[in-house]
Amino acid sequence: MLGRAPRKIGVMSNSTIVGADRATHVKIVAISLAASVAVLLVGMTARNTPAADTAARIQVAGPAVKVGKPVAVSHSDTIVIR
């Protein structure tokens, strides 16, 4: 095409979020959504123990403590400094 002038490639003018076009806003939303999903997945897979396995890992060392008669405490031997 010899008769036409070459097309100029426009300079990107999306340097601010206010002046950005629709495609730039869609890209920003898509990248932020993908990043939030990635953080969510890393957080879900980084747990130490699952909830169903926790009860099986409890170990008891010593006898069980039994409840005795109720006791009322009305006096303390501690010194109060005012």
Residue of 12, 40, 16 lying closest to 28 (CA atoms): 16
In this predicted structure, what is the pLDDT of residue 51?
A: 60
pLDDT in tens, 5-62: 666 666 666 667 777 788 888 999 999 999 999 999 998 888 765 565 555 666 777 7
In this predicted structure, what is the pLDDT of residue 38?
A: 96
User: Residue 59 has which token pair?
Assistant: 């170990």
CA atoms within 13 A on the CB side of 49: 8
Of 32 and 3, the one with more pLDDT? 32
User: Residue 72 has which token pair?
Assistant: 């009322």
Query: For residues 20 and 14, is the Cβ–Cβ distance under 8 A?
Result: yes
Measure the CA–CA gap between 82 and 75, rounded to whole angstroms: 18
DSSP 46: T
The model's confidence at residue 78, banded by pLDDT at 50, 70 and 90, is: confident
pLDDT exceeds cutoff 60 at 77: yes
